[in-house]
């Protein structure tokens, strides 16, 4: 499988007992950047244009507000073309009507749709329409202005911005995540949450977040991450980035609240050993007091996502065997395949025990 162009650039990072200093930052560089006319009319769209031109990326200004010529002869070819493309567009009116997203946050909003990573279990598969091109929104100021209507006066209101994209994975191209962090730093009751499998955090360290943004890294055991998470930063690099975000400003860090999303948890061969090693690595990276949360998500899939994933990754070794799973139904009649109750119980007991021993001050937000 071919991957989009990436570049590795040196970063200066505080050292730690786990040797997480001086990591290489992974940046996704698309093969083409498309701008719709509506996007170019937006001041934020012009700022994105300046960014991508400064990186000498090929830019095409489209004649109409439609994305075309992104399909190949097969779904796999379409996937390959789309995943090499950044399209700068305007968010449609539907994006201004926010949806709740418990237990992650009160509300979700989007600065982009589509992700530059190549995770073979991708939760976006079957969720987004059309080719999986990465669409960045040029009308970001209007998107942020809309959020105030969803805040509850005098009560903390949380907003998740990572549901349909990896915001850090495209930050060097858009600057949109930093703008979101600045916005929430001015809010009395609004709080931002984002999660990433990338590590280019240097531009975020000095932002005036005022403790209103929680930065999270998505991590997994080495066999799962190494096999199924193509195009991403290594787990060690992600932990190094999270460390830099969490360290106090006086120690060269960002002073952010942070979190770990361990997902998707899989009962792979020798899973207690591999997840113990992951927790050891987390402990070494976060060997100081910090505002820390954990979210634990087991692997699951739907019939629709399975069909799409098998078209995108026909050679994948990801376990998508329905016969070994239990069926879980939602209130709308949709189904997903999850691990059986005994497996789920074993996984949950392991993580809750290990996390309580290693991180007694951390909060486990949810297990699913």
pLDDT in tens, 158-195: 999 999 999 999 999 999 999 999 999 999 999 999 99
Q: Which residues of 184-207 are buried (b: 16+ CB within 10 A; e: fewer)?
A: bbebeebbbbbbbbbbbbbebbeb
What is the Cα–Cα distance from 207 to 227, expressed in whole angstroms? 35
Report the percent of the chain where pLDDT is more than 70: 93
299: nearest Cα among 199, 221, 194: 221
The distance from CA 318 to its chain's CA centroid, rounded to whole angstroms, is: 20
Residues 6 or more apart from 263 whose CB is under 8 A from it? 218, 220, 295, 296, 297, 298, 299
For residues 143 and 91, the answer to whether their CB atoms sit within 8 Å is yes
What is the Cα–Cα distance from 5 to 26, expressed in whole angstroms? 10
Comparing 314 with 2, the larger pLDDT belongs to 314
pTM (two decimals): 0.93
**Hunting for tokens 């942070």 — which residue is that?**
258
Question: Is it the case that residue 357 has pLDDT exceeding 50?
Answer: yes
* Pairing label, strands 335-338, 326-329: antiparallel
Question: Is it the case that residue 154 has pLDDT exceeding 50?
Answer: yes
């Amino acid at each position: 499988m071919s991957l989009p162009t990436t570049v590795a650039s040196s970063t200066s990072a505080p050292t730690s007992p786990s040797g997480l200093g001086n990591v290489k930052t992974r940046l996704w560089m698309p093969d083409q950047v498309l701008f719709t006319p509506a996007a170019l009319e937006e001041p934020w769209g012009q700022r994105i244009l300046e960014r991508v031109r400064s990186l000498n990326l090929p830019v095409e200004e489209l004649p109409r507000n439609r994305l075309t010529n992104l399909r190949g002869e097969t779904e796999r070819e379409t996937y390959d073309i789309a995943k090499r493309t950044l399209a700068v567009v305007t968010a449609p009116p539907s994006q201004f009507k926010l949806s709740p997203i418990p237990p992650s946050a009160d509300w979700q909003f989007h600065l982009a749709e589509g992700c530059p990573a190549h995770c073979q279990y991708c939760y976006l598969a079957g969720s987004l329409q059309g080719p999986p091109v990465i669409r960045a929104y040029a009308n970001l100021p209007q998107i942020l202005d809309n959020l105030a209507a969803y805040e509850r006066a005098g009560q903390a209101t949380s907003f998740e911005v990572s549901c349909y994209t990896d915001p850090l994975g495209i930050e060097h191209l858009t600057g949109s995540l930093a703008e979101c962090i600045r916005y929430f730093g001015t809010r009395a009751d609004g709080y931002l949450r984002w999660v990433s499998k990338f590590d280019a955090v240097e531009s975020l360290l000095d932002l005036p977040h005022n403790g209103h943004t929680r930065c999270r890294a998505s991590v997994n055991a080495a066999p799962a991450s190494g096999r199924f998470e193509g195009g991403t930063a290594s787990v060690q690099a992600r932990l190094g980035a999270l460390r830099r975000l969490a360290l106090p400003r006086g120690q060269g860090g960002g002073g952010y609240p942070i979190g770990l999303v361990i997902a998707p948890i899989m009962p792979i061969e020798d899973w207690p050993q591999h997840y113990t090693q992951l927790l050891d690595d987390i402990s070494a990276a976060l060997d100081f007091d910090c505002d820390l949360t954990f979210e634990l998500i087991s692997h699951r899939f739907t019939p629709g996502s399975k069909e799409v994933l098998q078209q995108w990754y026909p050679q994948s070794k990801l376990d998508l065997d329905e016969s070994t799973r239990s069926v879980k139904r939602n209130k709308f009649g949709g189904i997903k395949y999850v691990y059986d109750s005994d497996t789920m119980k074993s996984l949950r007991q392991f993580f809750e025990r290990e996390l309580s021993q290693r991180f007694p001050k951390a909060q486990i937000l949810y297990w699913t």
